Chains A and B, each alone.
Chain A
């Protein structure tokens, strides 16, 4: 059996998205900036795509800017908030410790440019509270950036509450909605969102296409300089095939939000129940306030990369936050922020499901995983120490 359970990393392009893209490669291939008729046909398609994103986010088309993906959208959003703040003499940015690196590393860069950054601690359930945001807010805070749903542990943040308090305080609010878009309902008006990033390949659109929503009146700071595309705010000839595919995928995903969540939630909960039944295993993040397809657990006494390789050999594609898989010495900053000790964080596993995953696949994973965990624990000197009492169990 071949099971793809890494949909939070990326997804396959849907048939609908493929169908929307194909005509743009050889048919409607002209440059949307061109004055001639073929160019204007391309411009029309671009406008339609923009309208689709606007409609599904409850925004206006003029508020939608196309980018190369989630990272670029995050960078431009933060740089916009920072630049607008600096003009008013406000140089404090408030965010959280478990943001995506696109946010965290940009904030690091902004710190070097003279901004002060506060990163909120993450509670044990992986859900930041609006109250914590309120308490950390300062008179010179110019921007709050809190992700909609975490990319590793899938916990969903109280975006509407945070948005409301930012609006009240007159502070710009950005949310990195890369994991949430196409999976959870988003209403930028009701949630008081000023800036929002999303990425098409997380909801069965193509890679290399992102959207940056910026509320009317929030003047975007240029990051990519050049031509006058996207109202002069993002240069470069538009990736029309990608954008059309992204829009089709988003439309489809948003139309099926409820059905997809209703299908995925029981599968997710079955996996969580089955995996946490393995001794010394813990679920990372709140069991309920999480994305419908996200499962993230830590197994004590084993290391994530070897777990992934064993799963791969059984046909299961998954992901881990171990140091070895992150390519650095430290395990996932998300799990560390959640309070997991290093040695526990190394043994993490993320399974992310989508509607093409079947109940039979869930059964197969539950069939195979406990044996792999026992095998690796059997081989592990750490497990030996845990079991013989020379090392205390942490979970």
Chain B
């Protein structure tokens, strides 16, 4: 059995929405280089409809970090912000036909990158948001980034 599903390999080898975005409305960056993965997500938002009209990503990380970034951008592109915020790491894993257990934290990073980008958009535009949009979604059991340490 291969390490990754065909879907993961497809998104790794042909990442969607990869690259920098000029004049992004929100930028979220999560992870750290010391741990070996960083995701940066850029979103463009239609101020009238609050729909994410465009999304791009830059990722430093393993195959699954790149694949989950790519999949997450596809899943929120063209969606209203309210829906993007509902994107769970589980949904990303399912859309990729699964990830090896020790790679689940990559999907958590993808979910957090989306939330961080939205939060940045809210901050820039003075849009209020609740406690649920913290810097970290608190998936400590799968994240392993050792924030508590």
Contact = CB atoms under 8 A, between A and B. Distances in A.
A and B form one complex:
yes
Given A306-B12, A323-B35, A380 B62 contact: no
B20 A322 contact: no
Contacts of A329: 35-36, 144, 146
Give chain B's interface secondary structure class: mixed
A198 interface: no
B48 interface: no
Interface residues of A, number: 25
B34 A343 contact: yes
The winner among A322, A327, A379, A391 for most chain B CB atoms within 10 A is: A379
Contacts of A379: 15, 18-19, 58-60, 66
The winner among A304, A323, A331, A381 for most chain B CB atoms within 10 A is: A381
A11 B63 CA distance: 26
Contacts of B61: 303, 306, 324
B66 A306 contact: yes
B124 interface: no
Contact of B34 (A306, A309, A322, A342): A342
A313 B13 contact: yes
Interface in B59-75: 59-63, 65-66
Interface stretch (B37-45, B79-87, B91-99, B130-138): B37-45
A313 B2 CA distance: 13
Given A306-B12, A381-B38, A322 B66 contact: no
B145 to A, nearest CB: 8
Contact of B60 (A309, A313, A327, A383): A383
A329 B34 CA distance: 10
A313 B10 CA distance: 12
A279 B53 CA distance: 37
A391 B29 CA distance: 15
A364 B59 CA distance: 27
Nearest to A394: B33
Q: Classify chain B: how many residues form its interface, as a range.
A: 20 to 34
B16 to A, nearest CB: 12
Given A327-B102, A329-B146, A380 B36 contact: no
A382 B38 CA distance: 8
Given A329-B144, A379-B59, A303 B65 contact: yes
Given A329-B35, A331-B36, A381-B29, A306 B62 contact: yes
Contacts, number: 72
Interface string A128-146: 0000000000000000000
A133 to B, nearest CB: 32
A380 B60 contact: yes
A241 interface: no
A60 to B, nearest CB: 46
Contact of B36 (A327, A346, A383): A346
B38 to A, nearest CB: 5
A17 to B, nearest CB: 29
A305 interface: yes
Contact of A322 (B29, B40, B58, B62): B62
A381 B58 contact: yes
Nearest to A383: B60
Contacts of A383: 60
Contacts of A301: 60
A44 interface: no
A15 interface: no
A367 interface: no
Contacts of B20: 384
A78 interface: no
B12 A381 contact: no
A380 B35 contact: no
A346 B102 contact: no
Q: 9 closest pairs, A vs B, by CB?
A: A305-B62, A324-B62, A343-B33, A381-B40, A380-B60, A381-B58, A342-B34, A382-B60, A346-B36
17 contacts: A302-B60, A303-B36, A303-B37, A306-B66, A309-B63, A313-B13, A322-B36, A324-B62, A324-B103, A327-B102, A342-B34, A343-B36, A379-B19, A379-B66, A380-B58, A381-B40, A381-B59
